[in-house]
Amino acid sequence: MGTVGKALDLLDLFTRAEPQLGLSQLARASGLNKATCHRLLTELESRGLLEQVGPAREYRLGPAVLRLSALREAAVPTREAAMPVLRRLAESTGETAHLSHLVAGRLQTLAFAYAARGGVKVMMEDADFLPFHATASGAAVLAFLAAPEPVIAAAPDPAALAARIAATRESGYAETLSTFEKDVHSFAVPLFDATGTCSGALAIAAAAPRMTPALHIAVTRDLTRAGADLTGLWGGQVPEPLARLWKGADP
């Protein structure tokens, strides 16, 4: 891996749960020696992508990240366009709605919304990477990628993942139960760009004890509607065979 790739990998280590990290933590998590890690961090800091704070001089994301984010959103307002759809989906189902996007071959949480009603909610984290093999979002994306075989082969249980993908292609949506988080029942549909390429997933994460046959029907109906709406807002097009499946789920 080149220098640029190593530096970008360091940026990926910052999360909502760990927004500030020290040199030793970053070196350990990245597998780099301290000298190399420090050199890369210094370069990122000089460009405003990182900054050091506090008496321990820990690192956190710098102001240049905000500029890049604003430029991206201005050019392609994916998150802004998605939020009304996410909120409607969360309210109609009473469950957590979330959106993920393919970023350099990984599935990253882009936005989420919680329902106003209800007590127990499935909580989300901004910018989390979702494992393909253990999430409904991952299965939804893999089912409609052109070449998912390498990801399937690398999964802990390739046969189970392949079966989930086959079921997703047949029904038009992915479904998992307690595969990523215990007692979470998840559903997801793929999203597509203007070329018809799968670019991410829209999902519902529900508390499993609350799932009833009626709620199952409502979730799949509202999720497929929202998937079609959001794909259209992004200037994309749902492949015709999948669009027919989604219409069948929308009485």
Backbone angles phi, psi at 114, to 5 degrees: -110, 150
Least confident span in 27-36, 47-56, 155-164, 241-250: 241-250
Question: How do residues 169-200 score in pLDDT, each as one tens digit?
Answer: 999 999 999 999 999 999 999 999 878 899 99
Over residues 70-78, mean pLDDT: 78
Output the pLDDT for position 131.
95
CB atoms within 10 A of CB 234: 19
In sequence order, the β-bridge partners of residue 9 are none
* Rounded Cα distance, 232 and 138, in Å: 21
One-letter amino acid of 175: E
Q: Alpha carbon of 160 to those of 131, 165, 187, 208: distances in Å?
A: 14, 9, 17, 20
198-242: pLDDT as tens digits: 999 999 999 999 999 999 999 999 999 999 999 998 888 899 999
In the numeric block, which tokens belong to residue 185? 């029942």
Angle at 195 between CA 248 and CA 140, to 5 degrees: 45
The angle at the Cα of 106, spanning 101 to 112, to the nearest 5 degrees, equals 35
Residue 198 · residue 237 · CB < 8 Å? no
DSSP type of residue 57: T
Q: Which residues pair with 97 in a beta bridge?
A: 113, 204
Q: What pLDDT does residue 53 have?
A: 94
The pLDDT, as a whole number, for residue 139 is 98
119-160 pLDDT, tens digit per residue, is: 678 888 766 889 999 999 999 999 999 899 999 999 999 999
Domains (range + CATH), the chain: 3-66 (1.10.10.10), 76-248 (3.30.450.40)
Residues 6+ apart with CB under 8 A from 92: 218, 222
pLDDT above 60 (res 251):
no
